[in-house]
Amino acid sequence: MTTSDVTIEEAGIQAGRPLLEIRDLAISFKTGSGEVQAVRNAHLTIMPGETVAIVGESGSGKSTTALAAIGLLPGNGRVAGGQILLDGEDIAHASEKRMIELRGNIIGMVPQDPMSNLNPVWKIGDQVKETLKANGRPSGPDDVAKVLAQAGLPDAGRRAKQYPHEFSGGMRQRALIAIGLSCQPRLLIADEPTSALDVTVQRQILDHLEKMTDELGTSVLLITHDLGLAAERADKVVVMYRGNVVEAGPSLELLQNPQHPYTQRLVASAPSLASRRIQVAKELGVSTEEVLAPRGSAAVKPALTEDVLQIQNLRKVFKMRAGFGKSTDFTAVDDVSFNVKRGTTTAIVGESGSGKSTVAQMVLNLLEPTSGKIIFDGVDTSALNTKEIFAFRRRVQPIFQDPYGSLDPMYNIYRTIEEPLRVHKIGDKASREKKVRELLDQVSLPQSTMQRYPNELSGGQRQRVAIARALALDPEVIICDEAVSALDVLVQAQVLNLLAELQSRLGLTYLFITHDLAVVRQIADHVCVMEKGKLVETGSTDDVFEAPQRDYTKALLNAIPGARLMLPPEVA
């Protein structure tokens, strides 16, 4: 009998009994000033074969609740009350030996941050193999390749021989998903499993999860800030706010008719194809460009027709290992050309591995192009000397995709944000501290965050710190590489509004690399679509969204989670 022939009853699940039931859960953490309660009286139920999504802003307790269910709370955390019933067994205070028995075959986990959860000195295939062997599964090269292929990695046999740093952010996330799904667990805890993925691969992964649900009765506890994804993929949605469950119910019903004020705010803030600027345009009977926020101050408005960036026939070829001391060429960017007008937002979209982040790194002068030119403000960046590059760094700042990897774990948050000011010798100690406090306010972080370290913050909070650091030098151009992918919808809306406000006031230019097409529709003026290193379609945002010319672009748009959900105007 194959794994796919196993029925729910044969797996030991009693009909009518929840696979996971959390009752009155309380979780607390020991801190220097005493014990702090992070979760209070939380409750949720997951039936066999059911998908339940927990949504809420960063710090609401949704990931902490999930970690308690798999026995992976940090050392200073504990279950202070309540029950966690797994198929009727209370595992809230189970021994470590028992939790090891449950992890893998019974409970799987896909964590949020791929770079800090993959071993940087082990090949990807070895990390998959380790999981398979630990749980008594076949672990040969073909088995490893099959697991990676199921998670959406192309050329899985070759990818298994590579290291995490050779993968894009989305590919690393897919490797984590492969590890979490490798033993076909009865319950999969997925903490933002697709936040780093483009929409087409996201659909592939989520379709695979649904297939597991249908064939094996696998239940999924989905932690996400993507309300469109929750509505489209989950049977039920649980809303958490400040450690409490404030609302729960069938997904579509809850999102179309939210009762709690916090849920109403979440739904109202979610980016969607029916974004506010599109609604306003329809009401006024004008094009959406006419209702965009004015770009730039009076001093920079006359220059809006100028191209601050000119990308000319850009090409990047990497040498890749082919075994036995041989190498092969991989063309990541192939003859890409486009211009970015001053004071506007240009979005580059495409699947993971399409080359969009490689373009961003070349624009930032972090990668040297194989051929082609990057003209910034009329100057070829390849001709800059050391002093000129230093000045260039102040004018062009990045916001990277992986906040944990781009923040020094040895620096507290104050020093992290203050460092660019110090390096560029801007202001004195007092003025720099004032600037840091202002930046924290702008990205909705309390000023007490200054004394904390990156490992003490959630993924969304770390991303906000990265954004604050990028804004510290008041740059002219900001390269945003998945800058809001880790943020919950409320903070995402705040950050996008902040970026729009700064653009309007200062005439900033944004090059936005993202897989979130709903965000693109909300903020971008122009869109560049990349596929396998090539630029396949460009145009205004409205033209690309309303009349896409390429089948690839149509597939990207059709894969947007929640795109087919018609929310009432009052909550859209």
Of 153, 184, 215, the residue at which a domain comes to its end is 184
Residues 495 and 549 in one domain: yes
Q: In the chain, what is the greatest distance between 2 CA atoms, to the nearest angstrom? A: 74
CB 522 within 8 A of CB 275: yes
How far is the C-alpha of 473 from the C-alpha of 23, rounded, in Å? 48
Of 122, 150, 184, the residue at which a domain comes to its end is 184
**CB within 8 Å of 28: residues ≥ 6 apart:** 35, 36, 37, 38, 77, 78, 80
Residues 198 and 241 in one domain: yes
CATH number of residue 498's parent domain: 3.40.50.300
Tokens of 462: 């770390």
Residues 511 and 392 in one domain: yes
Residues 102 and 114 in one domain: no
Inside any domain, residue 329: no
Residues 193 and 97 in one domain: yes
CB 163 within 8 A of CB 171: no
Rounded (10°) CA dihedral 26, 30, 35, 41:
-10
CB-CB neighbours of 95 under 10 Å: 10
Residue 186, H or E segment:
none
Q: Which residues pair with 28 in a beta bridge?
A: 37, 78
CB 332 within 8 A of CB 358: yes
Rounded to 5 degrees, φ, ψ at 549 are -95, -30
* 572 residues of the chain, pLDDT tens digit each: 333 333 433 444 455 789 999 999 999 998 777 888 999 999 999 998 899 999 988 778 998 999 999 999 988 999 999 999 999 999 999 999 999 989 988 999 988 777 778 999 999 999 999 999 988 898 999 999 998 988 778 889 999 999 998 887 678 878 888 898 888 889 999 888 776 666 777 777 777 767 766 776 788 999 987 777 788 889 999 999 989 999 999 988 887 888 999 988 888 777 653 344 444 444 445 444 444 433 333 333 444 458 899 999 999 998 877 666 677 888 999 999 999 999 899 999 988 778 998 999 999 999 999 999 999 988 999 888 999 999 999 999 998 877 777 888 899 999 999 999 999 999 999 999 999 999 998 888 888 899 999 888 876 788 789 889 998 998 999 999 888 776 777 777 777 877 887 787 778 899 999 877 778 887 888 999 999 899 999 998 888 888 888 888 888 887 776 654 433 333 33
Residues 51 and 38 in one domain: yes
Residues 9 and 99 in one domain: yes
Closest CA to 231 of 265, 267, 207: 267
Inside any domain, residue 87: yes
Inside any domain, residue 571: no
Domain that holds residue 156: 110-184
Burial (Cβ within 10 Å: 0-12, 13-18, ≥19) of residue 34: exposed
Residues 390 and 493 in one domain: yes
